[in-house]
Amino acid sequence: DAGVIQSPRHEVTEMGQEVTLRCKPISGHDYLFWYRQTMMRGLELLIYFNNNVPIDDSGMPEDRFSAKMPNASFSTLKIQPSEPRDSAVYFCASSLAGDHRDTQYFGPGTRLTVL
Amino acid sequence: GDSVTQMEGPVTLSEEAFLTINCTYTATGYPSLFWYVQYPGEGLQLLLKATKADDKGSNKGFEATYRKETTSFHLEKGSVQVSDSAVYFCALRNYGGSQGNLIFGKGTKLSVKP
């Protein structure tokens, strides 16, 4: 299995630019999660989807952040406009349903730097 | 709300030393408890879990026992190796709260020197 795939692995952009992060979950998984990791706040859940439907986006920091899952094999997290405080590592993870939600499979992350 | 508190890092040990990383939790009901590990440059992966009080989870020489009376789930390993250098996250999943999602601690970085 290929595992969860994220792109790009690194992104450097300037303040005010739009940033799009991409994720391909493991085939057959029902849930997809977006997390943000920073030194100060640790690992934060931003949003999660069940069968492509957004269930809870209460972790999205503000309206500049949006996420979509147009089909079972692809999701995007978009930041527009980006700000320096958005610099972090963004992880996508996926899991099966029920008790199998205990085991989330994480991608390698996208390290975002906003100058 | 539910939360996980783990010891601040970094923790630096010599090879073959004994490891303990403390983790305590706050949750209503009977959560399941987990340790995830993040190796350099990678995403998190499940290391071990315990689903009820007094259960012991174990994997790759690591162990943790679910102690309900002390609300703790400390991670231990008898003899660490350089390859164990990573960030370790304690987590809980409360099926009756937080929409059943994993709640992670802030992570503890472990460095093992040869």
Q: How confident is the model at residue A1 (pLDDT cuts 50, 70, 90)?
A: low
Q: Is the peptide bond before A81 cis (omega within 30 degrees of 0)?
A: yes
Measured between alpha carbons, how far is A16 from A25 in angstroms, rounded to an integer? 29
Give the pLDDT confidence score for residue B97 in this predicted structure.
Answer: 55
A107 contacts B44? CB cut-off 8 A: no
DSSP string, A41-75: TEEEEEEEEETTEEEE-TT--STTEEEEEEETTEE
Digit-coded pLDDT (tens) for B57-109: 999 999 999 999 999 999 999 999 999 999 999 999 987 655 678 899 999 99
pLDDT digits over B6-42, tens only? Answer: 988 899 999 999 999 999 999 988 899 999 999 998 8
Question: What was the pLDDT predicted at B98?
Answer: 57
Cβ atoms of B76 and B62 closer than 8 Å: yes
Nearest to B101 among A41, A45, A107 (CB): A45
- HEC string of A70-107 equals EECCEEEEEECCCCHHHCEEEEEEEECCHHHHHCCEEC
Instruction: For chain A, give the percent of residues with pLDDT over 70.
Output: 99
Say whether A106 and B43 touch across the interface (CB within 8 A). yes
Task: For residue A102, give the nearest of B41, B93, B105 by CB distance.
Answer: B93
Q: What is the average per-residue pLDDT within A50-66?
A: 93
Task: Tell me the per-residue pLDDT of A15-47, one tens digit each, with 9 for 90 and over.
Answer: 999 999 999 999 999 999 999 999 888 899 999
Q: What is the pLDDT of residue A82?
A: 96
Strand partners, A31: A50, A95
Smallest CA–CA distance from A40 into chain B, residue: B106
Mean pLDDT throughout A75-92? 97
What Rg do the C-alpha atoms of chain B give, in angstroms? 14
B7 contacts chain A (CB < 8 A) = no
B20, with CB counted inside 10 A (0-12, 13-18, 19+), is exposed
